[in-house]
Structure 1
Amino acid sequence: MAGKYKTKQQSAIKECLEMHKDGYVTVMDIENYLKENDCQVGLTTIYRHLEKMEKDGIVTKFSVEGQPGACFQYIEQGENQDCFYIKCEECGEVTKMECHHLAELYSHVNADHHFSINPKKTIFYGKCEKCGKCEEKNK
């Protein structure tokens, strides 16, 4: 989108994504944000802008088990895009992770199993530290 015509709608959608850059948003989250900020945008327009933003490398799109529809996360310019996500099965929090150790796993899977993993669509499920501590207290 750099150097291209930007509409009020595009700016508002990008603003919503930037506000939630440490997590993710759904189309419904964006629609609600826009309504709360008096920016009337139809769902078709939101989807169209998100598709363009994904092509431009501004957002990444992924699916989260138990979450209806796609999830979108803002990618800051210059940010390492080779990340993966972890989801707590207890509280449902999804966090973006960057870890160079996974590059070894990706290389192994590619070399030995002839399969290329898409890290942007890789989600590991488990229990976050906060929920793990709560579980320990309840024992």
Structure 2
Amino acid sequence: MSHIESFIAYAGEFEETLADDDWSRLLKHFCEDAVYEVDSGSFGCRLDGPTAIFKGMKKSLDGFDRKFDGRDVAIDSGPELDGDEMRVSWSVTYKKEGLEPYVLRGRSEARFRDGKIAYLADRYDASVDADALAWQQANGLELDPRYV
């Protein structure tokens, strides 16, 4: 399986995990010493190892994604492959009955070792904090995307 195919498989199973909270299915996609970094002004962090990664992701999903009725993920550019590194830009449109859609844009980078994710990073533009605050104030829904 190519790195792009591996990432697509991970992303698909991540969406299943968003729905049912079964984090065990994702373990096969990560090296034991995997690192996940979030590059953002207000909720940036570094998580080491699958246990910490999944705990942080769950916290973020509970405080942000699961506050909405649903979400649509779109690939804006990529994926691009350079050796063992894959990059993709994406946008997620979050929806909740009676509220304006909220669009979050970012970039993901994954490095693979032995067919598994050794390093994963999600990067957000500096404007994401101000955009999120403005959306929350306009729509009256409090969101907490922090991982730790």
Band of TM-score, shorter chain: under 0.3
Higher helix share: 1
Higher relative contact order (CA 8 A, sep 6+): 2
The structure with the largest strand share of the pair is 2
Higher Cα Rg, which structure = 1
TM-score, with structure 2 as normaliser: 0.25
Q: TM-score, normalised by structure 1?
A: 0.26
